[in-house]
Amino acid sequence: MILLLFFIFTEDQPDPLRLPTKHNIKMAMYWLVKDCKAGDSLVFHYSGHGSQQRNRDGSEVDGFDETILPLDFETQGMIVDDDINLSLVRPLTHGVRLHAIVDACHSGTVLDLPFLCRMHSNGQYVWEDHRPRNGAWKGTNGGEAYCFSGCDDSQTSADTSALSQVTYTGAMTYCFIQAIERGHAGTYRDLLYNMRHGIRNSDVGRPSGPVSTLIEMLLTGGSYNPNHVQEPQLTASYMFDIGTRFYI
């Protein structure tokens, strides 16, 4: 038997408990993994704004923590990758599998998972070790965790109507769905490659308007680079052969 339970948070919800506030998002993370047991398959999807902030404890290879921005981030603060890892990754016990899909700017390592799959344009890949230099444990408690993210940590993710031709969607989310619906997502390699291929061919892997660009510059204190075409990333709690492991 397959049991589907889910929460959906959007900013136009009349119910305050369904708004994507910091408290509600963190409580939903807790609910998702609470009492998880062998055989459970969990999914976490976030599509929204993401950013970075200076890392102070030496646990990040690039010196930055990745963050997601809840609706009330201006008053309550951002949700940092350390907290996401602690909430979603650490509780996963043996036999439990988590897939996260995070379509946001600077989301490459937003779950703080130990390993990043660096894929080249020809589909070849290597695993990078992103375990913290200070020795902090960022893996699971025996379970499996995988995260498909919208772009690399240094990049931004596009919100565009160029793909659907109907309404604005996250480029990564759209290409993720298209790869699955068209049967191009047999293995993890197939899925990642076709997501990246779809964005690259559509030439929409750049922020589509001044709002996301301005938010990025204000939050990071940096400058926007229009040549940073987004490249979806895969991170995981362990290294594996993405060409032989089936996604579905």
Catalytic residue among 36, 49, 151, 175: 49
| Cβ pair 179, 198 in contact under 8 A | yes
Active site residue 106: no
Catalytic residue among 36, 105, 117, 151: 105
| Distance from C-alpha of 151 to C-alpha of 176, rounded to nearest angstrom | 13
DSSP letter at 139? S
* Structure-block tokens of residue 238: 């362990």
* Structure-block tokens of residue 181: 């619906």
Amino acid at 110: V
- The string of DSSP letters for 100-112 reads EEEESTT-TTTT-
* Structure-block tokens of residue 100: 């996260």
The residues, any chain, with a CB within 8 Å of residue 237's CB and separated by 6 or more, are: 89, 92, 113, 114, 115, 139, 140, 143, 144, 145, 146
Active site residue 49: yes
**Bridge-partner residues for 116, per DSSP?**
128, 235
Closest CA to 28 of 37, 41, 19: 19
What is the distance of C-alpha 240 from the center of its chain?
19
Measure Cα distances from 194 to 35, 56, 206 in Å: 35, 36, 18
| Distance from C-alpha of 140 to C-alpha of 91, rounded to nearest angstrom | 6
Residues labelled catalytic = 49, 105
